[in-house]
Amino acid sequence: MQMQLKEFLDQKVEEYNQPFFIEKDPICIPHMFTKKQDIEIAGFFAAIFAWGNRTTIINKSKVLLQLMDQSPYEFCLHHSNKELKKLIGFSHRTFNDTDLLYFIEFFKSHYQSNDSLESAFSKNIQTSDKTIENALIGFYRYFFSLPDVPSRTTKHISSPEKKSACKKICMFLRWMIRNDHKGVDFGLWSSIKPSQLVIPLDVHVTRIAKKLRLTDRKQSDWQTALELTAQLRSFDDLDPVKYDFALFTLGVEEKW
């Protein structure tokens, strides 16, 4: 039974882990760029905005990038006060300009002394760690380590310490780390292994996982994400999160 399920999911991964997948998914936003830092920043915002309708997520991300003159890295590092004022009034669902200005402040602070966003995660994980849990916990603390953090902004970054499934950050890390040369995920980072990634757990993935009896937990929390990833690891120990393509598209594209 498990072998049949693996073969079915492998088939779905092969079917959807293709360049055509990019156009309708928020991952199309970082694919607009070629410079590593632009890919990281654009991808991070697209992942943070990834809540609700995918078309709206993509359009809102494009609006933000237009406000940044299509150069998010340059904007975050070298913006003027006049350029920052263009961002006033920007919002996407519960994310507003107060949150946006703090995010940009963080990126400016980080990139002034780091070449890549990778180090913000990798410094908190060991090669012996089974998953990215410590990386996520450390990133949350680091992201909100600047002075005068708006209290409202902390809700936009999740942490396993708060029992959250951390779907958005897990998705962003999938984009940055997986490197299967299929053209969808970028594989920009090498200090965190694909085997350490955790499945981005949203309502669609949770529903399909329950239908396939990969989990029987009622909550969509961090523990569920870990348990589901452990099940997927039994199908592919080196790249369990590739099955995100199968579970997500079964729920969204095929409407199981």
Query: Residue 233 in contact with residue 226, Cβ under 8 Å?
Result: no
**CA–CA dist 183, 20 (Å, integer):** 9
Domain-by-domain residue ranges, the chain?
2-252
Mean pLDDT, residues 73-81 taken together: 97
CB atoms within 10 A of CB 33: 19
- Give Dmax over CA atoms of the chain in angstroms: 61
**CA–CA dist 52, 174 (Å, integer):** 19
Query: Residue 40 in contact with residue 33, Cβ under 8 Å?
Result: no
213-230: per-residue pLDDT in tens? 999 888 889 999 999 999
Mean pLDDT, residues 64-68 taken together: 98
Q: Where is average pLDDT lowest: 20-29, 220-229, 245-254?
A: 245-254
Q: Read out DSSP for 110-128?
A: HHTT-S-THHHHHTT--TT
Residue 19: per-residue pLDDT: 97
> Token pair for residue 212?
């396939």
The single-letter DSSP state of residue 33 is -
pLDDT at 256 over 80: no
Residue 61: per-residue pLDDT: 98
**CA–CA dist 145, 9 (Å, integer):** 41
Mean pLDDT over the full length of the chain: 96
What band does 117 get if pLDDT is binned at 50, 70 and 90? Answer: very high
Tell whether the torsion through CA atoms of 154, 160, 165 and 168 is positive or negative.
Answer: positive
**CA–CA dist 217, 192 (Å, integer):** 28
Mean pLDDT, residues 127-138 taken together: 97
137-180: per-residue pLDDT in tens? 999 999 999 999 999 999 999 999 999 999 999 999 999 999 99
Give the percent of the chain with pLDDT over 70.
100
Q: Read out DSSP for 189-230?
A: --SS-GGG------HHHHHHHHHTTS---SS-SHHHHHHHHH
Among 227, 158, 225, 170, residue whose Cα is nearest residue 197 = 170
**CA–CA dist 116, 197 (Å, integer):** 19
Spatial neighbors of 249 by CB under 8 A, at least 6 apart, are 12, 15, 16, 21
Mean pLDDT, residues 44-57 taken together: 95
**CA–CA dist 167, 49 (Å, integer):** 11
Residue 226: per-residue pLDDT: 98
pTM of this prediction?
0.96
**CA–CA dist 165, 76 (Å, integer):** 28
Residue 3: per-residue pLDDT: 86
What band does 65 get if pLDDT is binned at 50, 70 and 90? Answer: very high
Query: Residue 13 in contact with residue 243, Cβ under 8 Å?
Result: yes
Give the percent of the chain with pLDDT over 90.
94
84-101: per-residue pLDDT in tens? 999 999 999 999 999 999
